[in-house]
């Protein structure tokens, strides 16, 4: 039986290692796949645009941009069927469908999701504090009264004021709930018809297309 040293010597002499990385073959897509990939890429872009653009009421769907950055797609081909899967951050469905509130002023009665408590969790507070810092909303705003007792701007430092404001925002949003922001369905409606039409023209036959967005990472 050859020793490890002998096997290494044989491998070097065979020239096999010289061929590694030398293959210049590129991934080749047929015309239909090219169209499908183009439109799936466009679908991701439209979802991102809807997440990053302020709505008519001036509010943003997401503040940090992390949800937008998390969106990507994969696809499979089976015969004349094309199935694309959109992956995105785990909380995307909460944004898309909204969340029912816990107070009498709940503004979302259709979401399958609901808050259990009005007080924001530690992670929720941290996210809101980051949002407050990003927006610099404390420039001329005092900490809200009623959460930390009697206080003034001179007494509270910025960190305490940010936390106080974040808690206030969190409590208000959990009592009212979060409105649905259906960025997924709207984006699919905008893109799917054009994608299907172009693929059908390229193949001269009907092509089955399915886009799955319920898979979260």
pLDDT single digits (tens) 166-183: 888 889 889 999 888 888
Check residue 31 and give its pLDDT: 81
Instruction: Name every residue whose Cβ is closer than 8 Å to that of residue 64 and which is 6 or more positions away in sequence.
Output: 127, 130, 131, 134
Domains belonging to the chain, first-starting first, are 30-93+182-212 (3.30.300), 99-178 (no CATH)
Mean pLDDT of the chain: 75
The secondary element (H helix, E strand) that includes residue 131 is: helix 122-135
Instruction: Tell me: pLDDT of 121 over 70.
Output: yes
The CA radius of gyration of the chain, in Å to the nearest whole number, is 26
Instruction: Tell me: pLDDT of 187 over 60.
Output: yes
Instruction: Name every residue whose Cβ is closer than 8 Å to that of residue 185 and which is 6 or more positions away in sequence.
Output: 96
Check residue 35 and give its pLDDT: 87
Under DSSP, the state recorded for 11 is H
Locate 185 and state its tokens: 């369905």
Nearest to 44 by CA among 178, 187, 155: 187
Nearest to 169 by CA among 87, 96, 77, 63: 63
Q: Which of 64-68, 98-102, 133-137, 194-198 has the lowest mean pLDDT?
A: 133-137
SS3 41: helix
Check residue 45 and give its pLDDT: 92
Q: Can you give the pTM of this predicted structure?
A: 0.62
Distance from chain centroid for Cα 187: 13
């Amino acid at each position: 039986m050859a020793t490890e040293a002998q096997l290494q010597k044989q491998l070097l002499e065979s020239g096999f290692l010289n061929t590694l990385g030398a293959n210049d073959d590129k991934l080749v897509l047929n015309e239909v796949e090219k169209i499908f990939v183009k439109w799936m890429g466009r679908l991701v872009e439209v979802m991102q645009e809807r997440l990053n653009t302020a709505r008519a009421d001036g509010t943003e769907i997401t503040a940090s941009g992390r949800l937008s950055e998390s969106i990507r797609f994969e696809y499979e081909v089976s015969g004349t069927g094309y199935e694309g899967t959109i992956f995105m951050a785990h909380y995307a469905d909460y944004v898309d469908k909204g969340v029912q509130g816990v107070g009498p002023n709940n503004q979302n009665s259709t979401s399958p999701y609901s808050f259990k408590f009005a007080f924001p969790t530690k992670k929720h507070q941290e996210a809101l504090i980051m949002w407050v810092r990003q927006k610099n909303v404390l420039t001329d705003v005092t900490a809200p009264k009623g959460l930390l007792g009697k206080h003034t701007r001179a007494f509270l430092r910025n960190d305490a004021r940010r936390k106080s404001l974040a808690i206030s925002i969190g409590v208000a949003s959990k009592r009212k709930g979060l409105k649905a922001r259906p960025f997924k369905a709207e984006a699919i409606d905008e893109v799917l018809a054009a994608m299907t039409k172009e693929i059908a023209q390229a193949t001269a036959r009907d092509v089955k297309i399915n886009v799955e967005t319920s898979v979260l990472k």
